[in-house]
Chain A
Amino acid sequence: MKREIKGMLTGLGVTFRTMTHRAVTVQYPHEREEPPTRARGVIALKEENCTVCMLCARSCPDWCIYIEGHKEQRPPRREGGKPRSVSVLDRFDIDYALCMYCGICVEVCPFDALFWSPEFEYSESRIAELLHDKDKLGEWMETVPEPEPLEQGAVVKGKK
């Protein structure tokens, strides 16, 4: 009997103690908790690096990246050379209604044109507006943080 009464009173003590401590609630939207640097919030596009290789669109498990591009002729770099053909990006849309935030596209891009940004407040009231086009993806580049340093013992690769 004594053990039961002690058990009941300890439980009461736990709730009373929690009541006297500060609540852990972060009152969003008045206060904000900053997500960590690596948080997968939104994908940003650096257009000048993109060569329209389509690797990201092909490797997306949801097929939510829509890319269209065309080839243009540019003048040769040196005198007397052949004209170069350059791929120009017409359309690069990511449909965030489908996106799983897996990061495969960011990872496979060989030219470092896609980056993760921890920005997460981009909800819309219409699903169609969740399709971010080339310009909007370029705007997200401003929110991309610097990659943070790694823990001790990690092998730091040289910068590309």
Chain B
Amino acid sequence: MNPVLALDIGWGTTLAIKAVIVLAIVPLTALILGYVFLLKMMSHMQSRLGPMDPGGFHGWYQLLGDGIKFLQKEDIMPAEADRRVFALAPAVVVLSTFLVFVVIPAGPRLVVQPLDVGVFYALAVSSLSVIGVLMAGWASSNKYALLGGLRAAAQLIAYELPLVLAVVGVVVQAGTMNLEGIVHFQQTGELFGWSGIGFPLILTQFIGFALFMVAAQAELTQPPFDMPVAESELVAGYMVEYTGFRFLFFFIGEFGTAFAFAALAATLFLGGWATPWVHGTAADWLGPLVLFTKVMLVAFLMFWARFTYPRFREDQLQAIAWKWLIPIALFNIMLTGVLKVAF
């Protein structure tokens, strides 16, 4: 029995509908993030306008046109590349993006598949992209790509730990790994008896939020952590041999994952789709909009840092992860645990 539409359709049709929703939403979110932040916000931060002509109104059509352009390009593969691995790598990266979107709730009943271990699943599945990156770096048979792939592997594995540990504080405080449960906890919580804004976990888990943002920035290989894709050195690193629709997959993977991490941050720390005074069916309509707004806010922070800062060198990057972020995350967990038991 489908809870949202109150229709009786079989599990096969439900599965098909859910698959279509995920497949449609991910490129759409990538497009929106790409347009708003990469094309427009970056341009204005650099004192220029960005695309203005395509589509007439401030170039909204630019990325769609780019997508179509990529799709009709010639499919070039280096002669010495490992053909199957080369072709599969972008698919693996994009697959992990799709899988993360499965658990993110957009409303009280609007989630593709509610999971009791939602948080665990989301973080585990987002790290599948490391395999894709390594595959791309190796199969390109290009020294620059190989360097980028190896740097990426080291970086992404190093920053998995702060990402996960930052979230543990949230889980401890909310008492559940289920994303809907966490949202519910924030929606129905109270601040010293006042339930006006619920209890967004960022108020007590600000260390966790900061850690999550830094680790997410590194997971997305965005400056200041974009050594694998260092544009001025490796000229796109592991993606250097990819053109056409394969590059489009990488692009969608990058921005879709940015949206996914921002949505996770919004859900875990800012209350997700929930506002405390809206419940029931109204929340089904308002939820996605609220979630979208919160995602845009979080993404604004991520991209603001991206366009301002230079990049860290690989060894400095690793030092930050292992010597600073992980101890701080462990300290945060300990503090949360102690305070949770005490109060």
Contacts and interface: CB of A to CB of B under 8 A. Distances in A.
Interface of A: 8, 11-12, 14-16, 18-19, 21, 23-25, 27
Given A8-B309, A11-B308, A24-B48, 11 more contacts: A12-B304, A14-B308, A15-B307, A18-B44, A18-B45, A18-B47, A19-B44, A23-B44, A23-B48, A23-B49, A27-B52
Contacts of B307: 15
B43 A15 contact: no
A27 B304 contact: no
15 contacts: A12-B304, A14-B308, A15-B45, A15-B307, A15-B308, A16-B304, A18-B46, A18-B47, A21-B47, A23-B48, A23-B49, A24-B47, A25-B47, A25-B48, A27-B52
A136 B44 CA distance: 42
Interface in B4-47: 41, 43-47
Question: 8 shortest A-B CB distances, which residue pairs?
Answer: A25-B49, A15-B45, A19-B44, A19-B45, A15-B308, A23-B49, A25-B48, A11-B308
Nearest to A17: B45
A8 B47 CA distance: 20
B304 A23 contact: no
Nearest to B309: A11
A141 B52 CA distance: 35
Interface string B254-272: 0000000000000000000
Contacts of B91: none
Contacts of B45: 15-16, 18-19
B309 A23 contact: no
Contacts of A8: 309
Contacts of B47: 18, 21, 23-25
Nearest to A24: B47
A25 B44 CA distance: 10
A16 B42 CA distance: 10
A12 B43 contact: no
Contacts of A27: 49, 52
Contacts of B41: 19
Contacts of B43: 23
Contacts of B46: 18
B52 to A, nearest CB: 6
B308 A12 contact: yes
Contacts of A14: 308
A25 B59 CA distance: 15
Contacts of A18: 44-47
Nearest to A21: B47
Which one of A8, A16, A23 has the highest number of Cβ atoms from chain B below 10 Å of its Cβ? A23
A31 to B, nearest CB: 11
B305 interface: yes
Contacts of A25: 47-49
Contacts of B49: 23, 25, 27
A153 B30 CA distance: 61
Contacts of B304: 12, 15-16
B53 to A, nearest CB: 8
A22 B1 CA distance: 54
Interface in B189-229: none
A24 B179 CA distance: 45
A19 B44 CA distance: 5
Interface string B305-337: 101110000000000000000000000000000
A116 B17 CA distance: 68
B319 to A, nearest CB: 14
Nearest to A8: B309
Contacts of A24: 47-48
A11 B305 CA distance: 9
Interface in B219-250: none
A8 B46 CA distance: 18
A23 B41 CA distance: 11
Contacts of A19: 41, 44-45
A12 B305 contact: yes
A19 B52 CA distance: 16
A16 B301 CA distance: 11
B258 to A, nearest CB: 18
A27 B43 CA distance: 14
B316 to A, nearest CB: 13
A28 B84 CA distance: 46
Contacts of A21: 47
A11 B304 CA distance: 10
A35 to B, nearest CB: 20
